[in-house]
Homo-oligomer: A and B are copies of this chain.
Amino acid sequence: MNTLKGIFSPVLTPFNEDYSPDADRLVRHCRWLVDQDVGLAVFGTNSEANSLGVQEKRALLDALLQAGIPASRMMPGTGSCALPEAIEMTRHAVQAGCGGVLMLPPFYYKGVSDEGIYRYFASVVEAVADSRLRVYLYHIPPVSQVPISLGLIERLLKAYPGTIAGVKDSSGNWENTAAMLREFQPHGFDVFAGSENFLLATMRGGGAGCITATGNVNPGPIVQLYKTWQHANADEQQQGLDATRAAFAQFTLIPAMKAAIAWKSGREDWTVVRPPLVELTAEQRQKLQASLDQAGFDMPKAASLG
């Protein structure tokens, strides 16, 4: 049985000015998200997870657990180009009681075969060898450039039923999400949209929810649509979500979301991103704030993030 459903956020990783991670602010951000019914896809693309070392990720996960953030609400990213690191992180997450893990394929080599990607996932499942393991496949070809094909999912599901638990589809291609919903969701494979732009369509297609960047900053309205997608005003709600997302998407999403939290929490070092990302300029921040004001954007209790 999969226990992870609903809205998840690839949790932003707060850094200090010297680029070191700030575990305390991460704990408070996670608590703020959980309080709003948002699950924690820590160490995702929007967490700058691949800009973190394995030891940093282990330490941050331990800090969250020690602070009482519930592992049952976590779906940490554990994929890596290096198979031993993927195994290490996945094992650590399972033993900590995480509800699932979200796994990138190895993304350095391009044009690799489905057979090679299959061996990677199979090696992780076999090495971790734990019936509690729930693997969510992370399909994000615009960034990873290494897709997770429908044929690969079919093969993995057949080999590891119960363990291969679902997918985050960040292809941005609705036809692909629709095919996953049609072919695999009926077999207990939970399809999560990769952005709230597709939340309503995913729910109407029988999906499990969405895992979305802007869950970090706009959790309330996104969760509201998840809970009320069968209501008459669902399309109107979806339009509201799209407008807020569009305000962020004028800029690179990660520094834009961090700028919004800095603004609403009053804490300037929320703007820090690790290279190769770059923070927004003062001019960009002004434009973002104006756009967000216009979209009626609000972050209740954002002071707790400062």
Contact = CB atoms under 8 A, between A and B. Distances in A.
Copies in the complex: 2
Interface in A3-37: 19
Interface in A93-130: 105-110, 112-113, 115-117, 119-120, 123
B278 A109 contact: no
A159 to B, nearest CB: 14
B51 A275 contact: no
Contacts of A110: 142-143, 145
A85 interface: yes
Interface stretch (A76-84, A171-179, A196-204, A205-213): A76-84
A253 to B, nearest CB: 11
B276 A106 contact: yes
A276 B105 contact: yes
A67 interface: no
Interface in A131-147: 142-146
Contacts of A107: 107-108
A107 B107 CA distance: 9
A172 to B, nearest CB: 14
B123 A275 contact: yes
Contact of A277 (B85, B112, B274, B277): B112
A109 B53 contact: no
A56 interface: yes
11 contacts: A50-B82, A51-B108, A52-B84, A53-B84, A107-B107, A107-B108, A109-B277, A113-B278, A116-B276, A123-B275, A145-B145
